[in-house]
Every structure is written in C-alpha cells, then in structure tokens.
Amino acid sequence: MKLGALEFHVLVSGYFSLDGGAMFGVIPKTMWEKKAPPDSRNRIKLAMNSLLIRAGGKNILVETGAGDKVNEKFRDIYALDGPRLVDELQNYGLHPEEVDIVINTHLHFDHCGGNTRIVKDKVVPTYPNARYVVHKGEYEHAMNPNDRDRATYIPDNFLPIEKAGKFSLIEDDRVIASGVELIRVPGHTADMLCVKLQGGGKTAFLFADLVPMTPHLGPAWIMGYDLYPMTTLENKKKWIPEVARGEWIALFSHDPDIPAAYLREREGKVETEPVKVD
C-alpha cells in the first residue's frame, strides 16, 4: 500500500486468544458472541497485526507481537499461534539488522514481546540496529506496574532494550520519519501511542488498542482491560469521526479478519468498508 512516497504493509506477527468478556467490557455475551464467536474456554481469536513502513529511507516496524520467548503454560493460556514476525519480514527481503526504528504503541506483551529474543540463553534485542520508540510515561509505568496490569508487563520484553541503550523515549507527539507521526492517545493505558501515516494526500491511522477490532467501533464496546475507560470513550468520539470524515484508512491492531478499512458513518452507526492491504 502506497501513500505517496511512503509505503506500508500489514504483517501478522501471530494470533492469540483472550477472554471474550474481558475484550468487550460491559457488552453482554449475547451481543458480542455474534461478532466474535468464543471457543470452549470463552476465548476469542485476535490477530497481532504489525506494520512495516518504508519512509524517508528508513525501515520502520510498528508492534512486534508476542514474540517466541514464552513458555508452554503461557502459550496455552493465550493460545499463541501463527507466523513469526522475523519470517514475515523475510518475505519482504528484510533482515532484522535492517530495521531502523521499532515503535511500540505500548508495552503490553502482545505489542512488544518480539522486541527481544533468546540467543544462547541470553535475551537480546531482535533488531540490533534499531532504536525502539515508546512514550516515556508508558515506559515508566511498565517499569513500575500496578497489581492489576503486572501480568502483561514482562521485563524480558523491554529491560534488555533499556540495558542495550536502545530506547528512544518520547514525551510529546512526534514526527519520527517523513509522514510518520506518533500521537499520544490515553485510555487503554495513560500514554498509549497511535500512529498516523500520511503521503500523496492520503492518510492511514493505526488505532492500536483504542479500537483494537472492528466490533470496538461501537461507543460502549470498550475493553475491560482499559485503565481509563471513560478516556477511551472520549478519544473514540474524537478519532473515529475524524478517520471516517477524512476518508483515512483505519488500521486495527487485533482484528483477525479486517486489518484495514474505510469507515462510513450511517445514521449514527459506523460501518466498515474493508481495504485490501498486503
């Protein structure tokens, strides 16, 4: 997919499953199970969608998935499955050494687990020549999580990056390469980032976990995981209409069927028109 001089691809860095009730917060199962059928353990299937962006002569990776450091128990709880991001990159002729920038919208395990990998019993950065960009507030929270979200902040996913001096922590919204803007959008966490891509008069917008899947376009469809659900609601009311009216391409971090779509507002409801991206 090209936006002027900027090029991007959606790469699946694996699949996993989460409790359907937790994924849809206050929405009753009788409603969400029609859109996301649960398995026998009440889990629904999510993709971990990453972006490969080529802009301003840089190879940029957004989100690294859950990675492959996890043990069997973890793999079973979350039904982790599917391709490895490094293999997907290979399909584009790209070696891990050639990635210049890695962006983590936040540091939950399903967004940054692939930041690192195990080589000879040591956890090392998967992308040795990249700087890893994350919001400073999110990084500080990951280093000092609370009792409610500790399980998702796995030190091996980010401490080795810190030790290697490869983090680039941002405090304000930032254009990090030509046409690639990081925007702080709180709600899911206090300092989550969304990614806006622009070029050739066109725009794409990665919702990250503001709107993880297309069913979450409905205002009340907010994850039980969100630390600040009312802020999520506020930001959905700000960004969804903006994406729809601007005819931007909406990108969904976790939708297993529709990674990209145009949004159409009809009679107060938001509908999707899937966009084919490779």
List contacts with Zn ion (CB under 5 A): 110, 209
**Which pair of structure tokens corresponds to residue 275?**
């966009």
Pairwise CA distance, residues 124 & 57, whole Å:
26
Q: Of 201, 182, 175, whose CA–CA distance to 56 is shortest?
A: 175
Tell me the closest approach of the beta carbon of residue 2 to Zn ion, in angstroms: 27
Toward Zn ion, which CB reaches closer, 3 or 85?
A: 85
Tell me the closest approach of the beta carbon of residue 151 to Zn ion, in angstroms: 13
Residue 102 near residue 67 (C-beta atoms within 8 A): no
Tell me the closest approach of the beta carbon of residue 106 to Zn ion, in angstroms: 8
**Which pair of structure tokens corresponds to residue 214?**
């297309």
**Which pair of structure tokens corresponds to residue 201?**
């008069």
H-helix or E-strand spanning residue 75 = helix 72-77
Toward Zn ion, which CB reaches closer, 110 or 255?
A: 110
Pairwise CA distance, residues 144 & 105, whole Å:
18
**Which pair of structure tokens corresponds to residue 200?**
């050739």
Pairwise CA distance, residues 198 & 5, whole Å:
9
Toward Zn ion, which CB reaches closer, 6 or 70?
A: 70
Toward Zn ion, which CB reaches closer, 110 or 138?
A: 110
Toward Zn ion, which CB reaches closer, 10 or 177?
A: 10
Tell me the closest approach of the beta carbon of residue 211 to Zn ion, in angstroms: 11
Pairwise CA distance, residues 214 & 149, whole Å:
24
Residue 168 near residue 139 (C-beta atoms within 8 A): no
Pairwise CA distance, residues 152 & 186, whole Å:
17
Toward Zn ion, which CB reaches closer, 109 or 167?
A: 109
Toward Zn ion, which CB reaches closer, 47 or 197?
A: 47
Task: Give the DSSP letter of residue 265.
Answer: E
